[in-house]
A and B are shown apart, each in its own frame.
Chain A
Amino acid sequence: MFPTPTITHWLTLSALLFSIGLYGIFTRRNAVGVLLSIEMTLNSAILNILIFNRFVASDDVDGQVLVLFIVAAAAAEAVVALAIFVSFYRHRHTLDVTQANHICDQGNSAS
């Protein structure tokens, strides 16, 4: 009924997920929403690397090692982003990214 998925099918799926995440990064106003979309694009990049490891270089494990590194980097990024969001929310009482135009709290009486 369906064609057997080839590498092009897999890569198309990964690119589609990445595009959806890209749309989310552009349209979200809440910073946590942006981070959700970023996690989705990271996930599709991981999928892409695994697809190439499977179909093109199936003798090596380099792709899987690279995926482990990306997972660790994603975890570190989520931790720092959460800390920044909490600090930002404490100062400005919002998480709207269109309001985030100061890097220090000068000109801001809420601190």
Chain B
Amino acid sequence: MYDGTVATLFFYFFAVASIALALGVVLGRRLLRSAVCLIGVLGSSAGLTLVLGFEFIAGIQVLVFIGGIVVLLLFAIMMTSEGHTFEQRPSAARRVMGGVVATAFFVVTLSVYVHTDFPPATAEDLAVSHEDVHAIGRKLLSNERDGYIVPFEVISLLLLAALIGGIVIARKHDPEDT
């Protein structure tokens, strides 16, 4: 999908949308509205992934991030709000500290990027589609030296542990049950 003008237009559209919505997530004082803005950020990020040419990853991002995590966060907000979803404004010291840290990170990272010579991507290199689900699956499950079978198994154990841990932590404890 990396073919010149259309991709450029989509890049700038999704970039502006995601930055504006990200500012909405961070600066808004209503949590529910921030969560809805986060849906927009993640959606534009999936769009950017599409512009990069990774259709499968974009689908995964929409499924897991928007369909799973944001819905979970909406549940969390609604279960813990009791009507007052307003958050008081952070103190000036916190805002200054956050602004300094974020700006410092951005300036340092940007200076690194500007002073690095990246290998120039040739036009025909960028023109090919990089969608290769078969290669991803083979890589994920191969037990060769460059395969990812061990991290795959570890991540499945992590998901099981998170599932059980979530249930155990969130369930109601009896007062006499220590």
User: Do residues A71 and B60 form an inter-chain contact, with CB atoms below 8 A?
Assistant: yes
B87-105 CB mask vs A (1 if < 8 Å, else 0) is 1101000110111011101
Q: B53: which of A30, A36, A54, A89 is its contact (CB, 8 Å)?
A: A54
Report the minimal beta-carbon distance from A88 to chain B, rounded to whole angstroms. 9
A-side binding surface: helix, strand, loop or mixed? helix
Contacts of A20 in B (CB 8 A): 19, 22-23, 25-26, 102
User: How far is it, in angstroms, between the C-alpha of A67 and the C-alpha of B112 when the chains are bound?
Assistant: 23
User: Do residues B8 and A76 form an inter-chain contact, with CB atoms below 8 A?
Assistant: no
Known A55-B121, A78-B73; judge A71-B65 contact (CB<8 A): yes
Interface presence of B176 (CB below 8 A): no
Contacts of A50 in B (CB 8 A): 49, 52, 54, 57
User: Do residues B113 and A82 form an inter-chain contact, with CB atoms below 8 A?
Assistant: no
User: Do residues B73 and A23 form an inter-chain contact, with CB atoms below 8 A?
Assistant: no
Which residue of chain A has its CB nearest to the CB of B132?
A61
B136-173 CB mask vs A (1 if < 8 Å, else 0) is 10011000001010010001001101110111111010
Contacts of B80 in A (CB 8 A): 32, 85-86, 89, 95
User: Do residues B26 and A23 form an inter-chain contact, with CB atoms below 8 A?
Assistant: yes
User: Do residues B167 and A12 form an inter-chain contact, with CB atoms below 8 A?
Assistant: no
Interface presence of B83 (CB below 8 A): no
Contacts of A29 in B (CB 8 A): 87-88, 90
User: Do residues B57 and A64 form an inter-chain contact, with CB atoms below 8 A?
Assistant: yes
Contacts of B94 in A (CB 8 A): 26-27
User: Do residues A17 and B19 form an inter-chain contact, with CB atoms below 8 A?
Assistant: yes
User: How far is it, in angstroms, between the C-alpha of A87 and the C-alpha of B64 when the chains are bound?
Assistant: 24
Contacts of B169 in A (CB 8 A): 80, 83-84, 86-87
User: How far is it, in angstroms, between the C-alpha of A19 and the C-alpha of B90 when the chains are bound?
Assistant: 18
User: Do residues B19 and A27 form an inter-chain contact, with CB atoms below 8 A?
Assistant: no
User: Do residues A74 and B65 form an inter-chain contact, with CB atoms below 8 A?
Assistant: yes
Which residue of chain A has its CB nearest to the CB of B87?
A30
Q: A36: which of B11, B35, B79, B101 is its contact (CB, 8 Å)?
A: B35
Q: B72: which of A61, A65, A82 is its contact (CB, 8 Å)?
A: A82
Report the minimal beta-carbon distance from A100 to chain B, rounded to whole angstroms. 13
Identify 6 new A-B residue pairs, CB closer than 8 A, beyond the known A15-B105, A30-B31: A20-B19, A36-B73, A39-B73, A64-B57, A68-B140, A89-B79
